[in-house]
Amino acid sequence: MTGLPDALAGLRSARRAPADFDAFWRDTLDSAAHPLDPVFTEAPSALAAATVYDTSFAGSRGHRIAAWLIVPRPAPAAGPDRSAPVPCVVQFLGYGEGRGAPLDWLLWPAVGRAVLVVDTRGQGGANLRPGDTPDPVGVTHPQVPGFVTRGVLDPAGYYYRDAYVDAVRAVDTALAHPAVDPGRIVVSGCSQGGLLALAAAALHGRVAAALVESPFLCDVTDAARLPDRQPYRELLRFCQFHPQHVGRVLDTLAYFDGVALAERAACPALFSLAMRDQVCSPASVATTYHHYAGPKRIGVWPFAGHAEPNGYQRRAEVDFVAGVLGDR
Which residues from 259-288 bind a second copy, rule CB under 8 A? 275-276
Query: Which residues neighbour 316 within 8 Å (Cβ) at sequence distance 6 or greater?
Result: 1, 270, 299
* Binding residues with a second copy: total (CB under 8 A): 82
Q: Is 277 an active-site residue?
A: yes
Q: Is 306 an active-site residue?
A: yes
Query: Applying CB under 8 A, does 122 fall inside the site for a second copy?
Result: yes
Nearer to a second copy, 171 or 274 (CB): 274
Query: Applying CB under 8 A, does 228 fall inside the site for a second copy?
Result: yes
Nearer to a second copy, 30 or 303 (CB): 303
Q: Is 45 an active-site residue?
A: no
Query: Applying CB under 8 A, does 327 fall inside the site for a second copy?
Result: no
User: Per DSSP, which regions of the chain are E strands?
Assistant: 39-43, 50-58, 64-72, 86-91, 114-118, 180-190, 209-213, 269-274, 296-301
Query: Applying CB under 8 A, does 79 fall inside the site for a second copy?
Result: no
Q: How far is the CB of 317 from a second copy (least distance, A)?
A: 10
CA 107 distance to own-chain centroid: 17
Nearer to a second copy, 37 or 308 (CB): 308
Nearer to a second copy, 35 or 79 (CB): 79
Query: Applying CB under 8 A, does 237 fall inside the site for a second copy?
Result: yes
> What is the spatial distance between Cα 78 and Cα 61, in angstroms, rounded to a whole number?
42
Instruction: For 24-80, give the DSSP string.
Output: HHHHHHHHT-S----EEEEE--S-SSEEEEEEEEE-GGG-EEEEEEEEEPPPGGG-S
CA 131 distance to own-chain centroid: 16
Q: For the chain, give me the number of helices (H) and strands (E)?
A: 10, 9
Query: Applying CB under 8 A, does 50 fall inside the site for a second copy?
Result: yes
Q: How far is the CB of 293 from a second copy (least distance, A)?
A: 28
Binds a second copy (CB under 8 A): choice among 168, 239, 254, 269: 239
Query: Applying CB under 8 A, does 77 fall inside the site for a second copy?
Result: yes
Binds a second copy (CB under 8 A): choice among 17, 24, 40, 129: 129
Query: Applying CB under 8 A, does 39 fall inside the site for a second copy?
Result: no
Query: Applying CB under 8 A, does 240 fall inside the site for a second copy?
Result: yes
> What is the spatial distance between Cα 309 and Cα 70, in angstroms, rounded to a whole number?
22
> What is the spatial distance between Cα 211 and Cα 188, in angstroms, rounded to a whole number?
4
Report the amino acid identity of residue 115. Answer: V
Query: Applying CB under 8 A, does 246 fall inside the site for a second copy?
Result: yes
Q: How far is the CB of 22 from a second copy (least distance, A)?
A: 30
Return the range that interacts with a second copy (CB under 8 A); candidates 11-19, 143-151, 167-175, 285-293: 143-151
> What is the spatial distance between Cα 156 and Cα 255, in angstroms, rounded to a whole number?
10
Q: Give catalytic residues, as residue numbers.
A: 191, 277, 306
